[in-house]
Amino acid sequence: MTKKTNLKIALKVSVLGVLMSIFVLRSIAQDLHFSQFFNSPLSTNPANTGFIPAADFRVGANYRDQWSSIPVPYKTTSIWGDAQFLRNKIPGGWMGLGGMILQDVAGSGNLKSTKAYASVAYHQMLGNTGLLSAGFNLGYAGKQLNINKFTFDNQWNGRFFDGSTPSGEIFQNNSIGYFDLQAGLNYAWFPSDNIYLHAGVSVHHLNSPKETFFATGNGYDNTISPRSIFFVDAVIKVNDRVIVSPAMYVTKQSKSTEFVGGLHLNYNLTGNGEQQLIAGIYFRPSDAYLPMIGYQWKNFKFMFSYDVTNSPLKYFNSSRGATELSLQYDGFFDTYYGNKRQSLCPSFGN
C-alpha cells in the first residue's frame, strides 16, 4: 500500500475509534432501550404492569442487534411478563404483577449489562371511560467489562494499536452491581369502542445508584442521572379491516434526549381478526428511520423493525443501524375470568 492509502486507513480507524469510544462511554451512563418501545411495556413504564387492555396476562421477548456492520456491535435481549390479579376482589380496579430480565453486550470491551426487575402496579377505573394506573419496580443491575479488549490513545503507534503497550489506565473493578428503583403513572381514556388514548410518565433511577469501574472520589460524580420517559399512544378503529396506532416516546437522561414517533396499522386478514398483518414506520429525528412489519395470529404477535441510519454514522455503517425483533403472547385466566372479558381497546372482534 502507498503512504497515502495508509494515511486514509489510519484516519478512518481513528475517526471510527473516537465515535465508538463516545458510544461506549455513553452506553455506561445510558439505559438499554428498544425502538419498538410499545412492545417493551415494562421497561417503558412500571405502571404498564398488568395494564393489558385485551387479556389477563402476557409474556414477551425482545432482541436488538445494533451496528453489526461495524467492528463493535451492540446486542440487547429482554424477556418479560406480567399479569392482572384481584380483578374480582377490588371494585373497579385490579393489581398488576410482573418482571423482566434485560441483557446487553456492547462495544469492543464486551461491556455486559444484566438487569432483573420485579414490578407492581395498581389500576383503578374512573367511571366507564377512564383508567388511572400507578406502579413501581425494584431491580438489581450488574455490569462486567473485559478490560483486556480495550485500546487507548497511548497504545497507537502510528500504524495500529499495540496491545503490549501499557494503557496507563487504572480500573479498580471489572464488575459492579447496584439496586435500582423506578416509578410511573398512566392514564387511559376510551370514550367509545373505536377510540382508545393512553399516556404515561415515569422516572427511572429514583434511588440515585452509583456506577463506576474506577476508584470513587477524586471529584468525579459516578451517580446515574435520573431518566424520565413520557409516551402517548392511541388505537383508532377506522373500519372492520383497519386499526391505526400512532405513538410518540420521549426520554431524557442528563444531557441526552431521544424522541421516537410514528404509527403502525393492523390489517384484518380474516373476519374475526384472528390473523392480522402489521406495518408501519417510526423515526428518530437526525438519527434513523424505523420501518417495521409484523403478523398476529390469534394471541401471538411478532414484529420486525429495521433502523435505517441517517446520522453521520451512516458513512461508516452504510445506513445499516439495527435489526429488532419482538414476540408477544396474550392469554386469559379461564379458571377465574373466562375469555370473554370486554376489551378496553378497539379490536376487530368488537
For residue 208, give the CATH number of its domain: 2.40.160.40
In this predicted structure, what is the pLDDT of residue 20? Answer: 38
> What would the grid cell of residue 337 be?
375470568
Which has more confidence, 69 or 8? 69
- What's the pTM? 0.80
Residue 94's Cα: distance from chain center in Å? 26
Is residue 341 in a domain?
no
Is residue 346 in a domain?
no
Closest alpha carbon to 281 in 267, 265, 268, 296: 265
CA distances from 231 to 4, 75, 156, 263 (A): 50, 24, 45, 13
Q: Which amino acid is it at 109?
A: G
Is residue 12 in a domain?
yes
Least confident of 2-11, 35-44, 150-159, 273-282: 2-11
Q: Is the pLDDT of residue 342 over 60?
A: no
CA distances from 37 to 48, 140, 222, 315 (A): 12, 21, 27, 27
Q: Is the pLDDT of residue 8 over 60?
A: no
Q: What is the average pLDDT across 281-310?
A: 92
| CA–CA separation, 254 and 208 (whole Å) | 13
Is residue 218 in a domain?
yes
Residue 13's contacts (CB-CB under 8 Å, 6 or more residues apart) are: none
Q: Which helix (H) or strand (E) holds 11?
A: helix 3-29
Is residue 343 in a domain?
no
Residue 313's Cα: distance from chain center in Å? 21
- Per residue in 183-192, pLDDT (tens digit) is 999 999 999 8
Which has more confidence, 90 or 162? 90
Average pLDDT, the chain: 81
Residue 217's contacts (CB-CB under 8 Å, 6 or more residues apart) are: none
CB-hemisphere CA count at 13 Å for 152? 10
| CA–CA separation, 15 and 316 (whole Å) | 10
Is residue 306 in a domain?
yes
CA distances from 276 to 237, 245, 294, 304, 325 (A): 14, 14, 8, 14, 17
Buried b (16+ CB within 10 A) or exposed e, 268-290: beeeebeebebebebbbeebbbb
Closest alpha carbon to 53 in 267, 277, 294, 350: 350
Is residue 184 in a domain?
yes
Q: Which residue has the cell 394506573?
A: 133
Number of domains in the chain: 1
| DSSP class of 89 | T
| CA–CA separation, 167 and 160 (whole Å) | 14
> What would the grid cell of residue 147 be?
478490560
Q: Is the pLDDT of residue 224 over 90?
A: no
| CA–CA separation, 87 and 48 (whole Å) | 16
Residues in the chain, how many? Answer: 350
Q: Is-contact 198 186, C-beta < 8 A?
A: yes
Residue 239's contacts (CB-CB under 8 Å, 6 or more residues apart) are: none
| DSSP class of 48 | G
> What would the grid cell of residue 290 be?
424505523
Q: Which domain holds residue 79?
A: 3-331
Is residue 113 in a domain?
yes
Return the bridge partners of 296, or none.
Answer: 276, 301
- Per residue in 299-331, pLDDT (tens digit) is 999 999 998 887 655 555 555 668 999 999 999
